[in-house]
Each structure stands twice: as C-alpha cells, then as structure tokens.
C-alpha cells in the first residue's frame, strides 16, 4: 500500500473508527462489519477503499507515518542537539509530547499489533525508527567529535534518550497524581540526567 498524501473524508472516518474498534477488541477480535457500523458506512465501502482488514491497519500506520514526516520534528531536534540549545530542545520535545499524548491510544494499538504482523514492524522500522536513529545519531556523533559528549554507541545513546521520553509519557498517563514537577521542569531534569548522569562524581565503568 502506498502512502496517500491526502485521505478522503470517508477514508479518514473509516480509519478513526478502526482505531476505536481495534483499541477495544484488538485486531484479531475486530470485524470489518463492526468498523463499518462504527464509521457509519457500508461494509463494501471499507473493502473498496482498503481491500481487507489488514489494509485498514496498514492505512492507519501509513497515515501516522505521513504525519510524522510532515512534522519534521526530528530535523528540529537534530538542529537543537547540534546547537546545544537546551531551551529549544525542551520546547520541541514538550510540543511533540503533547501531540503523542493525544495519539497515545492509536500508538499503543499499533505497537501492540506490530508484535503479530511482520509488515507492520517493517514499516515502523523503515519509516520511523531508522530515520530517528540516523538523523539524531548524526547529531550525537558531531557532539562526540567536538568533545561535548562521551564516546558511547550512538544508537544506544539515542535509544536511551527516546526511552526516557517515552517512559515519561506513559508514566504521566498511568500515574498523573504522582507528577510533582510541571512538564517543562520535568523535561529539563530528564535531559540533564541524560546529558550528565546521576553520579555526583561520575567515572567510567
């Protein structure tokens, strides 16, 4: 399936309905008739636009990929890394975290279903994971060459940062009452932990 630059209103309605149904029943437990009923369209309309139930799942993922590519967030993050501009970095991350929180049910559903569908895994890796690792990895390597960062495996450095940020998003979702710091201060502390570690007198292990 190719990434469509623009979805029709009917296609978008079907995908939105599918996200709700898949989130509630899982991909395996959902039927196209349920999705059609939720979307308020005939079941044949679904087949005409997406072919199969798996085509709907791929359509959901590809619409996410398209929005991710349009956002250019990784380009902005990479530039902020290279400039060492912490405030710009926090501002960009904060904006994107808000967007991620709004789409969290969709993202959780996609990541869950990716365990069972190789083609979904491949799209996530090729269109989202690799571009993130490649572009942010280049920025990290430049900082290493300038002596600003210690020399570690580049992918692990990027993964450790993104894992911290994703963990923060999930933590906010499941335990909001435990959040003491405001979001900006929390992000600044996360970045400082990533940049400087937690040891008072850090030394190589």
Q: Which pLDDT score is estimated for 102?
A: 73
CA-to-CA separations, 189 to 79, 92, 155, 182, 195, in angstroms, rounded: 20, 15, 22, 11, 10
**pLDDT score for 36:** 95
Whether the pLDDT of residue 170 is over 70: the answer is yes
pLDDT at 137 over 90: no
Q: Reply yes or no on whether the pLDDT at 81 is more than 70.
A: no
What's residue 2's pLDDT? 45
Nearest-Å Rg of the Cα atoms of the chain is 20
pLDDT for residue 91 is more than 90: no
Highest mean pLDDT among 41-50, 55-64, 136-145, 166-175: 41-50
CA distances from 62 to 17, 120, 128, 153, 179 (A): 16, 10, 10, 30, 33
Judged against a pLDDT cut of 60, whether residue 1 lies above it is answered with no
- For all residues of the chain together, what is the average pLDDT? 81
pLDDT over 70 percentage in the chain: 81
Identify the residue with better confidence: 178 or 161.
Answer: 161
The pLDDT score that the predictor gives to residue 3 is 40
Contact 112/60 with Cβ under 8 angstroms?
Answer: no
DSSP H/E element including 171: helix 154-174
What does the block give as tokens for 177?
A: 């009452």
For residues 81-108, average pLDDT? 70
Neighbours of 177 (CB within 10 A): 5
Which class for 135: exposed (0-12), middle (13-18), buried (19 or more C-beta within 10 A)?
A: middle
What lies within 8 Å, CB to CB, of 168 at 6+ separation is: 97, 186, 187, 190
Domains of the chain in sequence order: 1-70 (1.10.10.60), 72-205 (1.10.357.10)
Higher pLDDT, 18 or 92: 18
Burial class (CB in 10 A: 0-12, 13-18, 19+), 181: exposed
Average of per-residue pLDDT across 173-196: 79
Q: Is the pTM of this model over 0.85?
A: no
């Amino acid at each position: 399936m190719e990434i469509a630059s623009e979805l029709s209103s009917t296609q978008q309605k079907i995908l939105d309905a599918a996200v709700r149904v898949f989130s509630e029943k899982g991909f395996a437990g959902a039927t196209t008739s349920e999705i059609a009923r939720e979307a308020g369209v005939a079941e044949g309309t679904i087949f005409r636009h997406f072919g199969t139930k798996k085509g709907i799942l791929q359509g959901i993922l590809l619409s996410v990929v398209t929005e991710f590519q349009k956002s250019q967030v990784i380009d902005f993050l990479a530039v902020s890394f290279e400039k060492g501009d912490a405030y710009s970095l926090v501002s960009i991350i904060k904006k994107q975290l808000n967007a991620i929180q709004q789409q969290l049910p969709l993202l959780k559903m996609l990541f869950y279903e990716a365990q069972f569908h190789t083609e979904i895994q491949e799209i996530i890796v090729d269109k989202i994971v690799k571009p993130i690792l490649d572009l942010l990895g280049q920025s990290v390597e430049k900082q290493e060459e300038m002596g600003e960062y210690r020399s570690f495996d580049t992918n692990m450095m990027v993964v450790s940062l993104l894992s911290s940020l994703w963990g923060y998003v999930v933590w906010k979702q499941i335990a909001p009452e435990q959040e003491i710091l405001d979001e900006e201060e929390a992000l600044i502390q996360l970045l400082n932990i990533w940049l400087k570690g937690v040891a008072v007198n850090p030394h190589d292990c």
